[in-house]
Each structure stands twice: as C-alpha cells, then as structure tokens.
Chain A
Amino acid sequence: MRDVTAAPMVQVIDLTFAYGDGLPVFDRFSWSVAAGEAWALIGPSGCGKSTLLYLIAGLRQPKAGRILVDGHPVPRPRAATGLVLQDYGLLPWATVWENVALPMRLGHFYRGKGDDGPAPRPYPRQDITPGDVDAWLARLGIADQRDKYPGQLSGGQRQRAAIARSLLQQPNLLLMDEPFSSLDAVTREDLQRLTVELREETGVTTLVVTHTIEEAVFLGRRILVLGNPPNVAPRIIENPGAGLAAYRLEAGFFEKVAELRSALAAVTAGAEVR
C-alpha cells in the first residue's frame, strides 16, 4: 500500500489552454489533486470545467504547461482513468452486458500488449473476468437488464451501466462530466448517493464536473470553483462534511450550498465587470 495522502493523483502545472486562437480558458493555471480525494468542479457555462476534465483524461492536450496523472503525462487516454459522460457513451448495438464488458473485451483485443511495468497503463487490464462483469452489474442494480440494448433502458439505468463499465477496470481516477444532469430529480439523487457509496467502497479519486450547486456540495469534499476565462488561480472551497448519504439533510449542507452560491456569484460577476 502506498501512502494515499502524500501521492498526488493529478498535478496541473502552469497549464495554458485555448480553443484555436481564442482567449485562453486556462492561463498558467496550477492545481493538484491528492490520491483518494473527492472533488467537484463547478462554474458557469464556458468556464472550462469540462475542458479541464478532458485535458486530465488525455482527450485534449495543453498548449503550454503540464498535466501529470499518477506522476505521468497523458498524451492519450489511459485505461486506469474512468470517464463517465452526460450522455452515457454506451454502444447502441451492444447489450448492457456487452457494453459493461467492453474493458474486458478491449483487454483481450490488446492481449500481448500488457505492461507489467510501472504506470502509466494505457491499455486495459488483462485480468477482468466475466464474473467481474456480473458482479458490477449486480452492484449497480442492473443485473436483470443485462440482455437489453441501451435504447431500451431509462436514463438512470444507462448511467448505471456507464458507471459499471468505468469501475470494471478498477480505475484509480474517475472523471465524471455532468453525469446526472439529464436525469430526473429522484433518479439523480439516487445516483448521487450511489456515487458516494461507490467512492467509499473503492477509494477511487473522483472528479465530478457539475453545474448544480447542490450536487457539487453533496459529492465534492473539496470544490474547485472556476470563473469566466481565463482561469489563473484555483479557488477552492473545503467541504469536509461531504461523503455521507445523510449529509444532504444536515444544516452544514445548506450552509455550504449558500457559501458556494455566493462564491459562484462573485466569480461570475467579477468576470462580467472586466
């Protein structure tokens, strides 16, 4: 076991990023995530919160500066990073079981390309079994949907399948981009609670991008507040109460929601004046 408190899982060092020749979204921005932490990323539309997630996922590359995940740069996505998107990203032509088993099938596809060396681990694990797939389907409560196609599922069930697929490869970093924003209120709260539970069970470092204040406070033990671009320095709100399902009903929760609301108002207003 390594010392989880000491090792940084994500290091963003002097990051500069812009789309095309436009205004930089991040300008020499530095930020760090320790292993095992639960973060929420929040900010107004266009603030770059999803962009930051994609950069960490290795789906975009910085213009300048560096991003290290588990100590290594990410020139391409690494299988040990799980990514859950708003629109699920399930293959429409594959059943729920086949979708969740995709990391296993990718592992077989790349058999012989396994790397027993140190991280990064760009290729999927080779040791996932069909039993693991069944176990995750059961844990996410969608075992009885296994032979259905994504088109036959509700939004909540689809997102459960997407989460199961991400966790199947035992990631050490889980990135979620507005994962629950297209779900109805009850389903959303169900899945938020499930996310908290799964995080406690697996200890996976979690970064959740959200535009909902309540979701940020419920899921993020630390909250990164981004403002209108360019983002230069991180604004961080500590939220040690998060991580328990009952938190939503506590007085501390509502105080934190109010605090985050005024912080968001401040960054948005400040940018508009400029």
Chain B
Amino acid sequence: MRKRDLALGTVALLILWQGLSWLLRTDVLPGPWEVAQAFVRAVPRGLARHFVVSGYRVLAGIVLAMLTAVPVGLILGQSPALNRIFSPIIYITYPIPKIVLLPVILLLFGIGDTSKIFIIFLILFFQILVVVRDQAVALRPELIYSVRSLGAGRRALFRFVYAPASVPAALTALRVSIGTAVAVLFFAESFATNSGLGYYIIVDSWGRLAYADMYAGVVALSLLGLILYFVVDWLERVLAPWMFLRDA
C-alpha cells in the first residue's frame, strides 16, 4: 500500500465520520475532533497503559503461536504418516470457535494475562498450523527431488527447503489472523479483568457513558491492529523479498 493512498483513505474515513456525526446529532457518535481531544487527554490517564497491556497480550499470543505452529505444521507437512494420524484431529477441532472455551480458560488460568494470551494463542495456532502444513504438502516433488539429488538428507531438506518455504505461508496466516486476534482480545478483556483496551472501552468508558473516551479506546484498538498489520507487511518484505519481484 502506498503512503499517499493510505493518507487519502484516512482522510476519506474522517470526512465520512464527521458527516455521519453531524447528521445524527447524538452523544453516541461524537465527531473525530472531539474524539481526538479525548484521545490526547486519555493517553496519560491510563489509555497508554491499557494499550501496552493489550499489545503485550496479543504479541505474546502471536509469538507463542508462531513458535509452536510453524514447526508442527512443517513436521506434519513433510511426513505423510504423521499427517494421516493428526489431520482428522485437526480437521475436527479446526472449525470449533475457540472463543467458546474462554470460560474454561478463565477458570484454568485466572483473569490475568495468561488467559488472554492463551486464547489468542489457541486461535492462531490452528490457523497457522494448517496453512504451513498445506504449504509444505504442496511443495512440488521436483523441487524435493532435485535438492535430494544434490545430497540433501532429511535435515538438510528441512533447513534448505521446508523452513524457507514456510515463511510466506506463516506470514499470510498471520495477516489473516491478526483481525481475529485483536477481536478476541477485545472480547476477552471486556469482562473479568481490570486492564487492557477491551476493559477501557467497555468497563471504563461505555459503563460510565463517556462516549468520547470510548471512541478514543476504539481508535487505540484500531491503531494496535494497524501497527500489527504494518509489522507483518514489513516482515514479508524483509523475509520474503522474492514474493514482491516481477520480471527482470
């Protein structure tokens, strides 16, 4: 995405927001200027702390999921025997909305950071696992043959073929999952806790009808998602530059 397009999109959204706010004339939808002021006021008064707490939780969940799901996906992807054993289990558990396990997770891990990190991890783990596994399965046999013919055994295949091949797959899975991860975080933080942007929006602002503050929280949560998106974009460019090249 080009910077100019990004700026234009932001301006268009702000105009739309302002227009809607003028049209509805209600406290429930304050205009962007009012929200911006509330945002600046709220940052030192707790919003910054909530932002950091939420950011930590979602990042920890992502890192944990990547560190576990990528190797497991790779192992399943290059071993038809293991994949045959585990793929029915994954197939059955994949469509279960993991968020319904939140009450259980809260009971098991308490209301602190661990339960939030774990639910995010749980959701991302399966999505990344499946994408990485399918990517490893889909590697063309000719590629494997030619590298094996150079004298590569199983370990070298892992190092020189499967691992680098999984990088773009893992990042794609991550890009798709970030929205879900932030949404789940919001939900998990909106009750039984006393920190995080979800808590700030629902309990701290909405609960006392402070609408401008509530939107400041929404903006902060959106920024969190946007920053994560940018990071994945950047990682793709650094780790998978060949994906962005066209022609000589």
Interface residues in chain A, defined as those with a beta carbon under 8 Å from any beta carbon in chain B: 54, 57-59, 76-79, 81-89, 91-94, 102-103, 105-107, 109-110, 122-124, 148-149, 151-154, 162, 165-166, 169, 175
B156 touches A106 (CB 8 A): yes
| Distance from B2 Cβ to chain A, minimum over Cβ atoms (Å) | 22
The segment out of B130-138, B142-150, B204-212 that lies at the interface is: B142-150
A109 touches B150 (CB 8 A): no
Task: Give 7 A-B pairs besides A77-B150, A151-B245 with Cβ atoms closer than 8 angstroms.
Answer: A57-B145, A58-B149, A76-B153, A85-B145, A93-B242, A94-B164, A106-B150
- Pick from B149, B155, B164: contact of A91, CB below 8 A: B164
| Distance from A106 Cβ to chain B, minimum over Cβ atoms (Å) | 6
B159 touches A83 (CB 8 A): no
B156 touches A162 (CB 8 A): no
Closest to B145 in A: A59
Q: Which residues of B contact A124 (CB under 8 A)?
A: 150-151
A152 touches B245 (CB 8 A): yes
Docked complex Cα distance between A151 and B247 (Å): 7
- Top 5 closest pairs, chain A to chain B, by CB: A89-B146, A79-B151, A83-B149, A124-B151, A149-B242
B142 touches A109 (CB 8 A): no
Q: Which residues of B contact A81 (CB under 8 A)?
A: 149
Number of interface residues of B (CB under 8 A): 27
- Pick from B143, B164, B240, B248: contact of A89, CB below 8 A: B143
B149 touches A106 (CB 8 A): no
Q: Which residues of B contact A105 (CB under 8 A)?
A: 160
| Distance from A55 Cβ to chain B, minimum over Cβ atoms (Å) | 13
B148 touches A77 (CB 8 A): yes
* B59 interfacial contact with A, CB 8 Å: no
A106 touches B146 (CB 8 A): no
Given contacts A93-B242, A152-B248, contact A85 B142 (CB under 8 A): yes
Docked complex Cα distance between A91 and B143 (Å): 7
Closest to A92 in B: B242
Interface residues in chain B, defined as those with a beta carbon under 8 Å from any beta carbon in chain A: 140, 142-143, 145-153, 155-156, 159-161, 164-165, 167, 240-242, 245-248
Q: Which residues of A contact B242 (CB under 8 A)?
A: 92-93, 149, 151
- Pick from B142, B150, B160: contact of A169, CB below 8 A: B150
Docked complex Cα distance between A158 and B115 (Å): 51
Q: Which residues of A contact B167 (CB under 8 A)?
A: 93
Given contacts A89-B142, A91-B164, contact A59 B149 (CB under 8 A): yes
B160 touches A82 (CB 8 A): no
Docked complex Cα distance between A268 and B247 (Å): 42
Give the interface centre of B143, B146, B156, B247 by most chain A CB atoms within 10 Å.
B146
Closest to B150 in A: A103
Given contacts A59-B145, A83-B145, A149-B245, contact A93 B240 (CB under 8 A): yes
Docked complex Cα distance between A101 and B165 (Å): 18
Q: Which residues of A contact B153 (CB under 8 A)?
A: 76, 110
Give the interface centre of B148, B149, B242 by most chain A CB atoms within 10 Å.
B149
Give the interface centre of A57, A102, A153 by most chain B CB atoms within 10 Å.
A102
Give the interface centre of B240, B241, B247, B248 by most chain A CB atoms within 10 Å.
B248
Q: Which residues of A contact B164 (CB under 8 A)?
A: 91, 93-94
- Pick from A93, A107, A166: contact of B165, CB below 8 A: A93
Docked complex Cα distance between A148 and B245 (Å): 9
Closest to A152 in B: B248
A169 touches B247 (CB 8 A): no
Docked complex Cα distance between A59 and B144 (Å): 10
Q: Which residues of B contact A76 (CB under 8 A)?
A: 148, 153
| Distance from B142 Cβ to chain A, minimum over Cβ atoms (Å) | 5
Docked complex Cα distance between A83 and B164 (Å): 22
Q: Which residues of B contact A57 (CB under 8 A)?
A: 145, 149
B248 touches A87 (CB 8 A): no
Docked complex Cα distance between A85 and B155 (Å): 23
Q: Which residues of B contact A149 (CB under 8 A)?
A: 241-242, 245
B149 touches A123 (CB 8 A): no
A89 touches B151 (CB 8 A): no
